Structure 1
Amino acid sequence: MDMTDIKPLDPYRWTITSTPKPVILYGNKALIEEMDEKVREQIVNVTKLPGLVGAAMTMPDAHWGYGFPIGGVAAFDPDEGGIISAGGVGFDISCGVRCLRTNVFINDVSGHLLQIVDALFNTVPAGVGSEGEIRLSMTEINKVMTGGAEWALRKGYGVREDLNYVEEKGCMADAEPDNVSDQAKKRQLGEMGTLGSGNHYLEVEVVEKIYDAEAARAFGISEGQIIIAIHCGSRGLGHQIGSDYLVALAKAAGRLGIHLPDRELACAPILSEEGQRYIGAMRAGINCALANRQIITHLTREAMSSIIPDIHIETLYDVSHNTCKQEKHRVDNKERELFVHRKGATRALPPGHMLLPERYKQTGQPVFIGGSMGTGSYLLAGNPVEQNQAFSSASHGAGRKMSRHQALKQWHGRQLIDELERQKIYIRSKTMRGVAEEAPGAYKDVDEVAEATEKGGLARRVAFLRPLACIKG
């Protein structure tokens, strides 16, 4: 990124001086310089949308996306003509991470990793267009979209305690299945309980290092413990909602005289008919994703217990990173009801927040920054609001530093799998192409991103997790 008009607010927050409305870029200088020019263009375009409150922001893992940059955060006030944008939510609505803790340690699994990775691969469907054994009717998919993880629990997937540690208690209110097209629903009939493709994964990890002992105790983790991460979203249904509403919102913007600096930022006022229809559909997509991760949690328990019968698996936390949430935030000493877009950014609620389960009230919300096959991941905790100036948001992953097309030119899937196996990291995937596209070297340095997330005041590091086995789509 050209740094000519980018100036530091401090070593981990930067601003673009040539914009009429504020932009804040989180990250150290090297991370900012590494970002492509499209990130700058996209986040500046976000500042031109009606009703923006405060700055448009990018997290340290930001990279080029559709409409908003991935890693983009922006809040809008409905009473000031604020907008909702499908490009600010993302096509994979409510893509997120379910983090699971277990009662077993590295010595318990080290001799069984090949069996574990094969059991998971054979139990949890993954890959482009992957379908599982669950087949739903159109009536039942409507129930998924209103029930979320609660629907999955009623169907026998998981345990009641899971929902205590899921965003929105596993069910997003005010979802409107009637606002979702039949085409979107049909795409999902066979895809519940599946990982999908791209950067989605199911990974078995070990707690390698503890940074914050107090938070680690609250999270129920210690060094050597086995953790499992499930990264996926709303699959075909969410993607189709995004596609459908890009058209509808673009028409609404034209009808209402909203100038779009980029057609990918198609939007409508939050309080407009079109805006409300998209919000209802998006919330239905969120529930689909929450149900999907709940089912995969159940399948993971089945697979793991087939290898280690005495294993006990609990949900540590589940949070989305492609959403727009209606939230209360204090801006200029006044509490305001805002709609916060987080595109490739996770909510990171502060200590004491009313939406946190009692277990995490003192520490703040668990936050997960995922790496990519072999690079490790981080568990963090949300910071107090006086430290986090990004509407309680944080990084969601390492973030791509090169396109999938570029990655295919540099790596071969089979070679990567063999290299990682020599490091005792076992990979299973439906396609070698998918492995090459998700090569560790195609992503930013996850250690640098996690450090910048902490030093930028967004969230503090609790633990580093080293990968042992990974299922890729």
Structure 2
Amino acid sequence: MVELTEIHENVYEIERTGEMRVPARVYGSASLIEEMLEEGDLTLTQVRNVATLPGIQTFALVLPDGHQGYGFPIGGVAAVDLDEGVISPGGIGFDINCGVRLLRTGLSYKDIAGQESILADRLYQTIPTGLGKGGYLNTDISDVRGILESGMEWMLANGHATADDLDHCEENGHLPGDPNAVPTEALKRGVNQVGSLGSGNHFLEVQRVTDVYDPETAAAFGIDADDVVVMIHSGSRGLGHQTCSHFIREFERHYPDLVASLPDKQLVYAPLGDRLADKYWGAMNAAANFAWANRQAMTQAVREVFDALFEATEVELVYDVCHNIAKEERHTVRGREKSLLVHRKGATRAFPAGRPEIPDAYRDVGQPVFIPGSMGSHSYVLAGGPRSLELSFGSTAHGAGRLKSRTQAKGEYTAGELQKALRARGIFVRARSGGTLTEEAPGAYKDIDEVVRVSDALGIGTKVARTTPLANIKG
């Protein structure tokens, strides 16, 4: 059993023992910790394993939505020294740059009331969903290579984005990607998937802003009570998954002695500076560029649908954040500023006011953060908290976090009953299959209100506004 000690309110620690290079931290309330422990000590074992990584700084971390993942827990953060550290695909995830963006529409709820079902139908008809091919944009291999290299810059140059879209996207929607590092099979899977939602927990949701907690910050973000907004959650699709799978196998083949020595082979890594580490980093950045372009293409689809259905719409990007990525950042460790590679897996960057990475429009209030709930619960808009750099390397939760496995959910819910219950609450859901609905049942997720309450209480992500779903499309 892994011993967990409460050291402050909402802060628990696993003492450094054995091969651990740093302690491990878990942020959560008593109820959230209890839910983590109900799956055994799998999440805690994984974060303890993460604490053994070479070059890891300060502590390995699990955020309030944490649960078991591949190698790293989902809701995990690990920052490693650039000279002594490593890069681990398990610390990023298979869906590279899975992320969330929020769009404001210029409409209030009264403007769309009574048309939610029509809106759900039109969005579902316009944006491809599910595991198969098809995207809002028609692209070929050459286009995909351009996207892998330039991300949102390619979208702007080809008429699929505005300069304002780039200004309101994390990293301006572009990391130094290497298309040549992306496996050929992965590249092929990206053809005609630009502007597609995918399956699983990915969604596009029309929401109503119901509560504003911080009017000044909400005004800076351009949102107010009763506004209609659109939240998009998707990533790099099959291209990212294939890229991650390829490099995990490459790492295992190239470092067999390392794999044999690890507490869990899913933790496999490459030392920074090694050829294979550089190649994976370039491929990861390229897949991240693809994910930004994918969400941007869906933004264009939303603009098309809203323009066709409503008058005086002005669909604008509030912000786009990724939650499966490793990025080079400057952080203060033991009083000294240094460059680190920060792995965030199911974790959202949440920089406080003043950081130069934040767009000019938001720099005085903090980076926008979006934490979705489920298709039957609230979602939240937050701002990077004042203690996020100190406590979490500038990170907070990425969602409610799963409470039940997909298999458990399928055994407890039926699609027809879910749709009926949601419709009775004014939520119109469209999905490719009944299986997707049952897997993603609201009861399969943790309490989003509690996850956000803990983030706010810790000061790693402060509440700005809360939304409720009106129309949701899924794969």
Question: In which range does the TM-score fall when normalised by the shorter chain?
Answer: over 0.9
Is the CA contact (8 Å cut-off) linking 1:203 and 1:229 kept in structure 2? yes
Is the CA contact (8 Å cut-off) linking 1:95 and 1:231 kept in structure 2? yes
Please state whether the residue corresponding to 1:97 is helix, strand or coil: strand
Aligned equivalent of 2:113: 110
Summarize deviations over 1:228-265 as a string: whole Å, max 9, x none. 10000000110001100001122333366883221111
Please state whether the residue corresponding to 1:192 is helix, strand or coil: coil
Summarize deviations over 1:265-286 as a string: whole Å, max 9, x none. 1110111111111000000000
Aligned equivalent of 1:62: 66
Residue number among 236, 239, 244 corresponding to 1:242 in the alignment: 244
Aligned equivalent of 2:439: 437
Aligned equivalent of 2:48: 44
Is the CA contact (8 Å cut-off) linking 1:425 and 1:468 kept in structure 2? yes
Cα RMSD over matched residues?
1.5
Aligned equivalent of 1:9: 7
What TM-score do you get using the length of structure 2 for normalisation?
Answer: 0.96
Residues 1:166 and 2:169 are matched in the alignment: yes
Is the CA contact (8 Å cut-off) linking 2:100 and 2:370 kept in structure 1? yes
Residue number among 136, 141, 149 corresponding to 2:139 in the alignment: 136
Q: 1:214 to 1:417 in 2, by over 3 A?
A: same
Please state whether the residue corresponding to 2:59 is helix, strand or coil: strand
Aligned equivalent of 1:28: 29
Q: Which amino acid aligns with 2:103?
A: L
Aligned equivalent of 1:465: 467
Q: CA deviation at 1:426?
A: 0.5
Q: CA deviation at 1:139?
A: 2.1
Is the CA contact (8 Å cut-off) linking 1:328 and 1:337 kept in structure 2? yes
Q: CA deviation at 1:133?
A: 5.2
Q: Which amino acid aligns with 1:151?
A: W
Measure, in 2, the Cα distance between the counterparts of 1:195 and 1:49.
34
Show structure 1 runs of 4+ deviating over 6 A.
none
Please state whether the residue corresponding to 2:270 is helix, strand or coil: strand
Measure, in 2, the Cα distance between the counterparts of 1:338 and 1:282.
17
Identity of aligned residues (%): 43
Is the CA contact (8 Å cut-off) linking 1:388 and 1:457 kept in structure 2? no
Q: Which amino acid aligns with 1:422?
A: A
Q: 1:253 to 1:47 in 2, by over 3 A?
A: farther
Please state whether the residue corresponding to 2:261 is helix, strand or coil: coil
Aligned equivalent of 2:214: 212
Is the CA contact (8 Å cut-off) linking 1:62 and 1:70 kept in structure 2? yes
Is the CA contact (8 Å cut-off) linking 1:71 and 1:345 kept in structure 2? yes
Residues 1:77 and 2:81 are matched in the alignment: yes
Measure, in 2, the Cα distance between the counterparts of 1:309 and 1:437.
36
* Structure 2 runs not aligned, ≥5 long: none
Please state whether the residue corresponding to 2:298 is helix, strand or coil: helix
Is the CA contact (8 Å cut-off) linking 1:260 and 1:266 kept in structure 2? yes
Please state whether the residue corresponding to 1:338 is helix, strand or coil: strand
Summarize deviations over 1:50-101 as a string: whole Å, max 9, x none. 1111100001000111110110000111212x11000000000000001111
Please state whether the residue corresponding to 2:193 is helix, strand or coil: coil
Aligned equivalent of 2:157: 154
Is the CA contact (8 Å cut-off) linking 2:387 and 2:460 kept in structure 1? no
Q: 1:108 to 1:135 in 2, by over 3 A?
A: closer
Please state whether the residue corresponding to 2:119 is helix, strand or coil: helix
Please state whether the residue corresponding to 1:199 is helix, strand or coil: coil
Mapping for residues 221-236 of structure 1, pairs under 5 Å: 221-236=223-238
Q: CA deviation at 1:157?
A: 1.6
Summarize deviations over 1:364-387 as a string: whole Å, max 9, x none. 000011011011100000023576
Measure, in 2, the Cα distance between the counterparts of 1:461 and 1:423.
25
Measure, in 1, the Cα distance between the counterparts of 2:94 and 2:3.
31
Q: 1:427 to 1:10 in 2, by over 3 A?
A: same
Please state whether the residue corresponding to 1:53 is helix, strand or coil: coil
Is the CA contact (8 Å cut-off) linking 1:387 and 1:457 kept in structure 2? no
Aligned residues: 469
Residues 1:287 and 2:315 are matched in the alignment: no
Q: Which amino acid aligns with 1:225?
A: D
* Structure 1 runs not aligned, ≥5 long: none
Summarize deviations over 1:350-373 as a string: whole Å, max 9, x none. 101111111111110000110110
Residue number among 420, 423, 431 corresponding to 1:421 in the alignment: 423
Is the CA contact (8 Å cut-off) linking 2:258 and 2:268 kept in structure 1? no
Q: CA deviation at 1:305?
A: 1.4
Q: 1:331 to 1:115 in 2, by over 3 A?
A: same
Please state whether the residue corresponding to 2:102 is helix, strand or coil: strand
What TM-score do you get using the length of structure 1 for normalisation?
Answer: 0.97
Please state whether the residue corresponding to 1:90 is helix, strand or coil: coil
Q: Which amino acid aligns with 1:123?
A: T
Is the CA contact (8 Å cut-off) linking 2:422 and 2:428 kept in structure 1? yes
Summarize deviations over 1:178-205 as a string: whole Å, max 9, x none. 1111100111112110000000000000
Is the CA contact (8 Å cut-off) linking 2:24 and 2:51 kept in structure 1? yes
Measure, in 2, the Cα distance between the counterparts of 1:441 and 1:243.
30
Is the CA contact (8 Å cut-off) linking 2:388 and 2:394 kept in structure 1? no
Measure, in 2, the Cα distance between the counterparts of 1:97 and 1:71.
15
Is the CA contact (8 Å cut-off) linking 1:98 and 1:231 kept in structure 2? yes
Is the CA contact (8 Å cut-off) linking 2:120 and 2:428 kept in structure 1? yes
Measure, in 2, the Cα distance between the counterparts of 1:102 and 1:53.
42
Q: Which amino acid aligns with 2:356?
A: M
Is the CA contact (8 Å cut-off) linking 1:205 and 1:466 kept in structure 2? yes
Measure, in 2, the Cα distance between the counterparts of 1:252 and 1:10.
42
Q: 1:388 to 1:412 in 2, by over 3 A?
A: farther
Measure, in 2, the Cα distance between the counterparts of 1:396 and 1:159.
26
Mapping for residues 299-448 of structure 1, pairs under 5 Å: 299-385=301-387, 388-448=390-450
Q: Which amino acid aligns with 2:267?
A: L
